[in-house]
Amino acid sequence: MKWLMVGLLVVVLLLGSFLLTPSPVDSKAWNPPAPPPLTGLLVPNERLRLADLLARGQVYGPEDTTMGPDGVLYAGSQDGFIVRVFPDGRVENWLSTGGRPLGMVFDHQGNLIVADAWKGLLSISPAGEITVLAREAEGTPFRFTDDVDIADDGRIYFTDASSRFEQPDYLLDLLEMRPHGRLLRYSRKAGKAEVLLGNLHFANGVAVSPDGDSVLVNETWKYRILRYWIRGPRAGQAEVFADNLPGFPDNLAVDDEGRYWVAFPTLRNPQVDTMHRHPWLKDLVAKLPDSLKPAPQEYGLVIAFNRNGEVITSLHDTRGTHLQEITSVNPHGDYLYFGSLHNDRIGRLPFEAIPGLGDNE
């Protein structure tokens, strides 16, 4: 009996300590819409399982990829290295940014422009010299520099996913559900970044339209894609491009045919959608170790949209054993390349293996 009382006392003390410990978030309620059914063009298939696997077992977390002017595939890895994958299959750790390289794209001068979660917006010369372009915008430092694209005029569009939480704490940003994200633009001429669109719920992937009149940005926690007009009569205005998506949209890119390809690390999570209605519950869950928080489903998903925000096709790996947690999809030539936040491979799928692309008007 004595040991039972001691055990109960320990449990009470631990529970009391847990409840009295301040939560790392100040959660806000949100009533998400019911997820769309995976029917029609979204019906599950196994097309992602047809992809070749590049650098398998030789990379870790190639979150984004881009093809260099030298015909070499570049990717940023979890350990801070930018990896080069050569056409002959050779893999090389090119250089380390000292941070966590995420979105990347080459400019017209052959410099690799990188959104580094820790270091900010970087420019890396062909010789490997790293220059920090920006670490803040309008007085607010970047805490989670995420994705990047470049317009034909050379201006750089990129995102700061959260001005409050850093990359390892993205789940806290999800639970808090407050708009800490920003869409930004960097001008080399001005030498600074400006905020185009603030108050976003995890500003993620970004892609400039082929005609340069708008830019798309993924608002991951709201399951939607926004379009921000940068030219024409609607310049400076934003609108919803695609809403109530079946998963968490990450990076996106546009191909030569004007199709937008969007990567989804996982499908919607019913537990998360339920918790969003109860801020007190999210405040408690935020105090738990990550191992006890809702985990993403192992699934591979990519969706293509036309310029009007309509679904064209979808690519799946329903078991997530070949490609999962896909965070980027980049078209180059006749192929799509798939990156992942934690996987040990890069996927490559030829367009000819994707039926039903059809007219993208």
Q: Is residue 11's pLDDT more than 50?
A: no
Buried-exposed string 253-270: b where 16+ CB fall within 10 A, e elsewhere: bbbeeebbbbbbbbbbbe
Q: What is the mean pLDDT of the chain?
A: 93
CATH number of this structure's domain 27-353, picked from the four choices 2.120.10.30, 2.30.42.10, 3.30.2350.10, 1.20.5.50: 2.120.10.30
Long-range contact list for 86-91, CB < 8 A, 24+ apart? Answer: 89/54, 89/55, 91/55, 91/58, 91/59
Q: For residue 327, what pLDDT band results from cuts at 50, 70 and 90?
A: very high
The pLDDT tens digits of the residues spanning 140-160 come to: 999 999 999 999 999 999 999
Backbone angles phi, psi at 239, to 5 degrees: -150, 165
Cβ 152 vs Cβ 218: under 8 Å: no
The pLDDT tens digits of the residues spanning 172-182 come to: 999 999 999 99
Predicted local distance difference test score (pLDDT) of residue 14: 40
Q: Which alpha helices (H) appear in the chain, and where do they start and end?
A: 2-20, 170-176, 270-275, 279-285
Instruction: Break the chain into its structural domains and give their ranges.
Output: 27-353
pTM recorded for the entire structure: 0.94
Buried-exposed string 26-41: b where 16+ CB fall within 10 A, e elsewhere: ebeebebeebeebeee
The pLDDT tens digits of the residues spanning 120-146 come to: 999 999 999 999 999 999 999 999 999
The pLDDT tens digits of the residues spanning 298-326 come to: 999 999 999 999 999 999 999 999 999 99
Predicted local distance difference test score (pLDDT) of residue 20: 55
172 phi-psi bin (left φ>0, alpha ψ -120 to 50, beta other): alpha
Predicted local distance difference test score (pLDDT) of residue 8: 43
CA distances in angstroms from 134 to 95, 120, 141, 196, 201, listed in the order given: 20, 6, 9, 15, 22
**Mean pLDDT, residues 187-204:** 97
CA distance 326 to 340: 5
Predicted local distance difference test score (pLDDT) of residue 250: 98
Predicted local distance difference test score (pLDDT) of residue 356: 78
The DSSP code sequence of 49-82 is GGSEEESTTT-S----EEE-TTS-EEEE-TTSEE
CA distances in angstroms from 290 to 117, 275, 294, listed in the order given: 20, 16, 8
Q: Is residue 225's pLDDT more than 80?
A: yes
Predicted local distance difference test score (pLDDT) of residue 169: 96
The pLDDT tens digits of the residues spanning 276-290 come to: 999 999 999 999 998
Q: For residue 98, what pLDDT band results from cuts at 50, 70 and 90?
A: very high
